[in-house]
């Protein structure tokens, strides 16, 4: 089997470099174009923005109040900063790829990583997705979720999952 378009979904974890290297070697071998993708998960960022004043207790149950305009503006600024930082970080991988003779492109997007990876892989007509796996199992995977599991079950193309041995 030959691949023409390889998408590598990478994050800032230690294993991101290992995943990138596997994708780069695969793209070199197949003379494929490499698509570098990083997702900023907005739902996780929202919970980190909540302050004590936004948490109310009613009959012993905690709930979160909706954003007001100032909270929303703060969140948008934070997300824009994260996208800028991710683009700078991805540029380093892009430069490594081009230095090794691989045609590459990079993009940072907002949203649920699994969904975004599958959607963009379909849109970009990707032949192979290369991504990492943190190694969560059992209850941890049930509560945290697994991006790699989602992609394995929803991608239209082949998926290569690189195990993070540090997990």
How confident is the model over 106-111, as a mean pLDDT?
90
The least confident of 33-47, 91-105, 112-126 is 33-47
- Give yes or no for residue 144 having a pLDDT over 70: no
More confident residue, 34 or 139: 34
Distance CA 47, CA 43 (A): 7
- Give yes or no for residue 99 having a pLDDT over 70: yes
Highest mean pLDDT among 44-53, 123-132, 147-156: 123-132
Distance CA 76, CA 42 (A): 10
Residue 74 pLDDT:
80
Residue 12 pLDDT:
77
The pTM of this model reads 0.77
Tell me phi and psi for residue 37, to 5 degrees: -135, 135
Residue 143 pLDDT:
44
Residue 22 contacts residue 10 (beta carbons within 8 Å): no
How confident is the model over 135-145, as a mean pLDDT?
51
């Amino acid at each position: 089997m030959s691949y023409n378009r390889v998408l590598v979904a990478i994050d800032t974890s230690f294993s991101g470099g290992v995943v990138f290297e596997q994708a780069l070697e695969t793209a070199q071998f197949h003379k494929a174009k490499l698509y570098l993708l990083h997702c900023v998960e907005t739902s996780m960022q929202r919970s980190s923005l909540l302050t004590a004043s936004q948490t109310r207790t009613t009959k012993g149950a905690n709930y979160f109040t909706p954003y007001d305009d100032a909270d929303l503006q703060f969140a948008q600024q934070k997300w824009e900063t994260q996208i800028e930082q991710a683009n700078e970080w991805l540029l380093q991988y892009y430069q490594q790829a081009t230095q090794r003779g691989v045609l590459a492109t990079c993009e940072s997007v907002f949203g649920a990583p699994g969904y975004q990876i599958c959607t963009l892989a379909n849109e970009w007509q990707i032949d192979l997705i290369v991504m990492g796996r943190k190694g969560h199992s059992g209850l941890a995977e049930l509560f945290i979720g697994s991006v790699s599991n989602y992609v394995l079950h929803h991608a239209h193309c082949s998926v290569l999952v690189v195990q993070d041995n540090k997990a």
